[in-house]
Amino acid sequence: MKINLEARALNAELRRGKTRGRIFEAASEVIARKGPHSVTIEDIVNAAGIARGTFYNYFQSTAELVSAVASEMAQSTDLEIEAQIQAIEDPAEAFATFGAMMASRVVGDPTRTWINLQQDRLQTQPPNAFVLRFEAILARGVEAGRFRSIDPLAARALALGSARAAIRNITSGQADVSHAAEVLALILVALGVPADEATPICVRAIEAAGHGRA
């Protein structure tokens, strides 16, 4: 009997994809049930109904799982952000909207809160989609004269590092959502936007993103 190697390879790939999806679903289920602060790999493999060794066939570490889940969520979030900012002409408003939408997707979402906490603990990098989005807005702002000329790497460190810290402060209960508007405004001022413009721009962006308490 002739063995169809291509069909066998395809079936194996489909099985791998299905198991990977089960791990993602299990992680979300456990995080929603236990909260983002006390999730373990053992919790996830038990919920997925797989052996611990099977987990490590797909992810070599917690950091790798965090990166994979974050990347998948980043892609869908970035599509939402693109739909919102594509018609915004002012780069300062586009950046504020970008930051506000990122924050709104984390606050109140246990899985995204877990990702943020794990990225801080493991010192992993932010999802590439958000880095590219920020750099595109920064370049447009500099070209339009809305932002001052600044080293892109320094600007990225300032913006994304501050955003992650602000989200951590909110999700840990140290601050309310008005904190996000304040941090976004400080970033815009650092980029060259006058303070009397930056604050109302960011407050409007936070309110539009659905927080309503900024």
Chunked in runs of 10, what are the mean pLDDT values of the chain (214 residues)? 55 71 87 78 91 90 80 81 91 95 80 76 73 93 96 92 86 87 96 96 91 41
Kindly compute the dihedral angle of the four CA atoms of residues 110, 116, 121, 126, in this order, to the nearest 10 degrees: 150
Residue 44 CB neighbours (<10 A): 25
Give me the pLDDT at residue 3, please.
57
pLDDT the model gives residue 214: 37
State the pLDDT at residue 213: 40
CA distances (Å), origin 112, targets 12, 32, 47, 52, 119 = 30, 10, 19, 23, 10
User: What is the pLDDT at residue 11?
Assistant: 59
